[in-house]
Amino acid sequence: MSHPRKRRIQRVLALSTAALLSVSLFGCASNDVGHGGAGAADQRRFSALTVGHDVTEDVSAGKKKSKAPVVWAHRGASKIAPEETRAAYEQALKDGADVLEGDVAQTKDGVLIIIHDDTLSRTTNVEEVFPDRSPWNVRDFTLAEIKQLDAGSWWDDSYAGEKILTLREWIAFDNGRAGLAPELKRPEVYPGIVENFAREMRHWGYTSGNLKAKNGAPMIWVQSFSEQALKDFGALLPDVPVFALVSGYTYINGTDEVLADVATWADAIAGNPALSRASQVSRAKAFGLTVIGEVEDSPELIEATVNQGYDVVFTDVPDVAKAQLSGKNPLPHRGAVVIDTVLYDPAGDDIAAEGGEYVALRNTSNRAVDLSGYTVRDFSNNVLSVGNGAVIEPGSRYFIYVGPGTDRADAHFNGRTAGVFNNTVTDHAFLYNGKGIVDIYSYIA
């Protein structure tokens, strides 16, 4: 039997014709993203109205698929628990995630572990345990040293003692309950990681795209930003599906020639539902490619992902995604206080005294609300406090500034020395109270 990717290569020319027909039917003569930048004067919440035009026009030529997308849990339930820990993955399974996603790095002694960053600083107490080992790169530490670190307290003291997982521990923990989507980090940083990872896949029997998890999801997807890593891995295990990540979404925005080429060595590409159009998703599918959404967390963007026809909803909040897909309330803890605005790119300094970046909350009720216990996190999990004893007046706004300043009745200043909000792509802000996430705000930078 011929290999699935080889069979797809044989169909690329025929599919190119189908892709052109699809583009014609959807009335799209250009592959450009077709969006305007949102500067400091135009920082609107991404809402259903934002995507309504594209969804209506692009999908009107055909029926929207009834099959719900697969939900991938990005680093686990990583807005509920510390990312890529057992706690985050356990929560993701509890929340109904179809697939668990994690990043694969390699220790000094050649052990594959699950961690996103090249350094240990952001998500562990490595600077306290090994103060003289700056810059604390993962590749400079043995597994025994890494296992001494606390990977949970940075998120919250209740997660103290969580450990970085090895790849084998991650796979054993999952035990086939959900699919897995490991991302290979850069081979130039971790020499031999591709071959090491392929050996692990053989060890677990994960050598075919036909394998299914107990929940029915595909058992294994391998992803990477390194085209060469995916090609090298494909040469070792050609039957395992691979997902090509790329900055700037150049594949989904590319020409037919670009899509035809990527389809010869990859099985899936990414798009950003906040920026893409349904016709672009359909065109990529015509080349036999699975289309996976960029990480999106707000109910509005999850709905846009579905409406544009993506195959996968990639999210930090699988409970929100599953609820949105099933027609349930995606934010059951939402109350009177919501995120009104994020000023992510102010004029001047991002952390100017008495100004700069802020999150504005809005009280939608006719009564004052005590904000004790409320916090805000950005996509990178920087925490902004709301201020001790803060109260938001009826129908009014309350401002949470990133930088320094003097607190007032309607504002709290966090005193940070660097901005936290992304100015170049879609980003999110998350509002928490003592019960959980009460609002998620997405914006287009």
DSSP for 12-76, please give it: HHHHHHHHHHHHHHTT----S-------TT--PBP-HHHHHHHHHHHHTTSPPP-SPPEEEETTT
* 8-state DSSP, 217: S
The rounded Cα 246 to chain-centroid distance in angstroms is 14
Measured CA to CA in angstroms, residue 407 lies from 15, 368, 433 at distances of 60, 18, 20
The rounded Cα 183 to chain-centroid distance in angstroms is 12
pLDDT at 423 (0 to 100): 81
The H or E element spanning position 438 is: strand 436-443
Q: Which residues of the chain have pLDDT under 70?
A: 1-66, 445
Measured CA to CA in angstroms, residue 99 lies from 50, 135, 207, 240, 363 at distances of 29, 33, 17, 15, 36
Q: How many CB atoms lie within 10 A of CB 232?
A: 17
Cβ 309 vs Cβ 410: under 8 Å: no
| 294 token code pair | 């960029």
**Can you list the domains of the chain with their CATH numbers?**
48-325 (3.20.20.190), 337-443 (2.60.40.1260)
Give the C-alpha separation, 65 to 384, whole Å: 40
pLDDT at 66 (0 to 100): 52
Q: How do beta strands 391-392 and 337-343 pair? A: unpaired
Phi, psi dihedrals of residue 232, rounded to the nearest 5° = -65, -40
Mapping DSSP to helix (H, G, I), strand (E, B) and coil, where does residue 158 land?
helix
Give the C-alpha separation, 284 to 408, whole Å: 52
Cβ 71 vs Cβ 313: under 8 Å: yes
Give the C-alpha separation, 444 to 275, whole Å: 8
pLDDT at 21 (0 to 100): 44
Phi, psi dihedrals of residue 432, rounded to the nearest 5° = -115, 150
Cβ 153 vs Cβ 126: under 8 Å: no
- Closest listed residue to residue 123, CA positions, set 362, 309, 380: 380
The rounded Cα 140 to chain-centroid distance in angstroms is 27
Q: How do beta strands 70-73 and 312-315 pair? A: parallel
Give the C-alpha separation, 68 to 322, whole Å: 10
| 197 token code pair | 């990872």
The H or E element spanning position 337 is: strand 337-343
- Closest listed residue to residue 185, CA positions, set 105, 119, 115: 105
Cβ 441 vs Cβ 45: under 8 Å: yes
